[in-house]
Structure 1
Amino acid sequence: MKKRLKSIVGIMMCMLLLLTVTACGNKEKEKEGSNGIPIVRVGVSWHEKQSTNVTVWSDYMKQFGEEKGPEYGVEFEWIEVVGDGTPVQETSNIQDLINQQVDVMVIWCNNAETIGESIKKAQDAGIKVVTLDHQDSGKLADAHVGQETLEQSVIAAEALADILEEDGVKDAKAIELFGSTGDPNSVNRSGGWAQVEEERGMWETVTTVPTEWKTENFKSGLSNALAANPDAEVLFLASDFAFSAVQAALEEAGRWEKRGEAGHMYICTQDINPEAYPAFVDGYIDAGVPFDNIAHAEKVVEVVADLYLGNTVEKENWIVTPAVTSDNIETEPSVWARDYLKAE
């Protein structure tokens, strides 16, 4: 009887092993495209997708994936999840991608401090992780693609200091519209602005307004700051995605004037999104540095492919763009907003 039971158990184990091998074989087969090359399933977690720059990232990652797939010998399948701007929803979305067993994950995180736990869970499940734009504070991700935002703001602030010097503006009062304390990019940009302020001595930041990246805070914050500091001449923007709100506040305060006109507010900005490009061309914005979303998207595709194929990948992959002023706003290649608006 015992011998018969052992035989039955042995047969069952063999059948289970056979089913497992077959399932694995089918999984591998499902990863092959119609042309026989492997499919890399890329899970992309956006903590929100309301701004234009996120749409550009998404669109161009897919475009470059299609264009460069044959070069890398893979086919890209993109699985996107979008949060509501909260860490809780982001955590849930990333767990969903883990459950779907994606091969590589790209994360645009909400908070650099809290994203680490989700990154660890993905890596424990055998998933390579790439952070985009917002690097996790512990630098746990397998690779990061972003802009060195301290350098970005230093370059932009230096360009503004040159303009102020050229126009004979000294000892100006400045208003800073800050991003979010949980975003390293905000902290870096503010730090770069302060660095040039100290080194060049062209302005003094009299108030720093936190916005938490909310459009309504850009308007209300700037309106209140202008009311308290009507003689301020300089404005630093952590980002210009909400520039319509900035313009509205300046108009209401009677400060929406071009360079060279009385009451002009000298503006130094970051990113040069489509929302700000027309005002830059028309002379309302004086200096800035583009955030080249298209170059970021291309680099993400390259890094994802290399991680999937087991190639050596740099831990940090930085995109560098130059200062933009009225001299080159209409010619600088990294100002993607120009071509984006023309295509609309």
Structure 2
Amino acid sequence: MSYKSKFAMTCTAALLASAASAQTITIGITQNNVGVDSYQTTYEQAFIAAAEANPDVEIVVLDAGGDVARQIAQIQDLVQQEVDAMIIWPTNGEAVIPAVREAYQAGIPVIITNSNIAEPGFEFVASFSGPDNITQGSRAAEIMCERFTDLGIQDEAQIVQITGQPGYTTAIERAEGFEQRLPEVCPNVTLVESQPGNWNREDAQRVMEAFLVQYDDIDGVYSGDDNMGVGAMNAAIAAGRVEDITFVGATNFAVGYDAMGRGEYWGSIYQSPVDDAEAALQTALDVLAGEEVPFLNYFDTPKITQENMGDYDRPVF
């Protein structure tokens, strides 16, 4: 029996039983690391608010705290609770696959949110809901190249990269998109080094401090999100070098938006954690209702720079 057929039968039976007993649908979510940054905190708040607005939905909200083993245990616990659907924000796209398989074998549809799991696990997943992170990295490279071209340094610029959490799909894909696109649009720009900032502003600041000591000539910094990008910017401010460096990130945080307004930070990719959370919940409900849902259910994430930031509201996170 095909995956979709199995889910269709399971979900139809679950919904009929629910209707007969007037019970609500229970959706469990295990998140990556809510406390690590304001995006994930806002996502959780928006997810809870969206679920509370639907009288037919009950939720079980869990947080892995960045610990893969803890997330695997949470997935297994949700299987034991026999939730109707499960939403997973993976701590590690490879490591969670066996646990995702367990949910699939139990007949529980799994929605992966924000950061996808590795491809070998796709057969166990009903849908991915979130941003296209490779496109985000690609667009960030275009922003960087366009800025260098305007400055007339596109044939000599040197940049460094601060990536997210190692092994985390979003970090891998945003770096991949950036590194693939940059030589296509600015073939003479040199990426001299990449180091992880772990989605943490203080870690990114320390990485940038080391870069500033090691390299006398840094024209640009690409960071996997604005939280890290602002950390790198703060290091450059302390070193008196911020005016010489173009800072480009992804997932435009309020601190990045404000820094763009001050002229210290050049550009990013606009992404809403509220949209992210609401899309994940709606995707789970659509799957349970038997609707056709794209496997890669992306929402748009446009470019934002100092030049067009007035077209976008200040982020809420």
Q: TM-score normalized by structure 2?
A: 0.86
Q: Following the alignment from structure 2 to structure 1, what is the Cα–Cα distance between the partners of residues 230 and 142?
A: 25
Q: Following the alignment from structure 1 to structure 2, what is the Cα–Cα distance between the partners of residues 321 and 84?
A: 26
Is the contact made by 2:34 and 2:44 (CA closer than 8 Å) also made in structure 1?
Answer: no
Give the 3-state SS of the residue equivalent to 2:303 in structure 1: coil
CA RMSD of aligned residues (A): 2.4
Map of 1:88 onto structure 2: 69
Give the 3-state SS of the residue equivalent to 1:270 in structure 2: coil
Query: Residues 120 and 144 of structure 1: is their aligned pair in 2 closer, same or farther, counting only changes over 3 Å?
Result: same
Deviation of 1:298 after TM superposition, in Å, equals 2.5
Is the contact made by 1:157 and 1:287 (CA closer than 8 Å) also made in structure 2?
Answer: no
Equivalences for residues 1-150 of structure 1 within 5 A: 38-50=23-35, 51-67=37-53, 69=54, 75-137=56-118, 138=120, 139=122, 140-150=124-134
Deviation of 1:227 after TM superposition, in Å, equals 0.7
Q: Following the alignment from structure 1 to structure 2, what is the Cα–Cα distance between the partners of residues 172 and 188?
A: 23
Work out whether 1:159 is the aligned partner of 2:127.
no
Q: Following the alignment from structure 2 to structure 1, what is the Cα–Cα distance between the partners of residues 23 and 227?
A: 38
Deviation of 1:64 after TM superposition, in Å, equals 3.2
> Of residues 162, 174, 179 in structure 2, which corresponds to 1:177?
162
* Letter paired with 1:340: V
Query: Residues 243 and 267 of structure 1: is their aligned pair in 2 closer, same or farther, counting only changes over 3 Å?
Result: closer
> Of residues 295, 301, 316 in structure 1, which corresponds to 2:296?
316
* Letter paired with 2:253: N
Deviation of 1:274 after TM superposition, in Å, equals 2.2
Q: Following the alignment from structure 2 to structure 1, what is the Cα–Cα distance between the partners of residues 218 and 105?
A: 52
Give the 3-state SS of the residue equivalent to 1:136 in structure 2: coil
Work out whether 1:295 is the aligned partner of 2:275.
yes
> Of residues 212, 215, 231 in structure 1, which corresponds to 2:198?
212
Can you give the 5+ residue segments of structure 1 that lack an aligned partner in the other structure? 1-26, 258-263
Map of 1:273 onto structure 2: 253
**Does 48-57 or 193-202 show the bigger shift?**
193-202
How many residues are matched? 298
Is the contact made by 2:113 and 2:129 (CA closer than 8 Å) also made in structure 1?
Answer: yes
Is the contact made by 1:173 and 1:234 (CA closer than 8 Å) also made in structure 2?
Answer: yes
Deviation of 1:30 after TM superposition, in Å, equals 10
**Does 188-197 or 90-99 show the bigger shift?**
188-197
Q: TM-score normalized by structure 1?
A: 0.79
Map of 1:229 onto structure 2: 215
Deviation of 1:59 after TM superposition, in Å, equals 2.2
* Letter paired with 1:76: V
Deviation of 1:254 after TM superposition, in Å, equals 1.2
Give the 3-state SS of the residue equivalent to 1:267 in structure 2: strand
Deviation of 1:214 after TM superposition, in Å, equals 4.0
Is the contact made by 2:31 and 2:90 (CA closer than 8 Å) also made in structure 1?
Answer: yes
Is the contact made by 1:37 and 1:75 (CA closer than 8 Å) also made in structure 2?
Answer: no
Work out whether 1:241 is the aligned partner of 2:227.
yes
* Letter paired with 2:46: Y
Is the contact made by 1:156 and 1:268 (CA closer than 8 Å) also made in structure 2?
Answer: yes
Give the 3-state SS of the residue equivalent to 1:242 in structure 2: helix
Map of 1:340 onto structure 2: 316
Deviation of 1:40 after TM superposition, in Å, equals 1.2
Can you give the 5+ residue segments of structure 2 that lack an aligned partner in the other structure? 1-13
Q: Following the alignment from structure 1 to structure 2, what is the Cα–Cα distance between the partners of residues 325 and 247?
A: 15
**Does 160-169 or 225-234 show the bigger shift?**
160-169
Is the contact made by 2:270 and 2:302 (CA closer than 8 Å) also made in structure 1?
Answer: yes
**Does 129-138 or 37-46 show the bigger shift?**
37-46
- Aligned residues with identical type, % of pairs: 20
Query: Residues 37 and 45 of structure 1: is their aligned pair in 2 closer, same or farther, counting only changes over 3 Å?
Result: same
Q: Following the alignment from structure 1 to structure 2, what is the Cα–Cα distance between the partners of residues 306 and 318?
A: 15
Query: Residues 180 and 28 of structure 1: is their aligned pair in 2 closer, same or farther, counting only changes over 3 Å?
Result: closer
Is the contact made by 1:242 and 1:275 (CA closer than 8 Å) also made in structure 2?
Answer: no
Give the 3-state SS of the residue equivalent to 1:56 in structure 2: helix
Give the 3-state SS of the residue equivalent to 2:250 in structure 1: strand
Q: Following the alignment from structure 1 to structure 2, what is the Cα–Cα distance between the partners of residues 197 and 124?
A: 42
Is the contact made by 1:42 and 1:76 (CA closer than 8 Å) also made in structure 2?
Answer: yes
Larger radius of gyration: 1
Give the 3-state SS of the residue equivalent to 2:173 in structure 1: helix
* Letter paired with 1:174: I
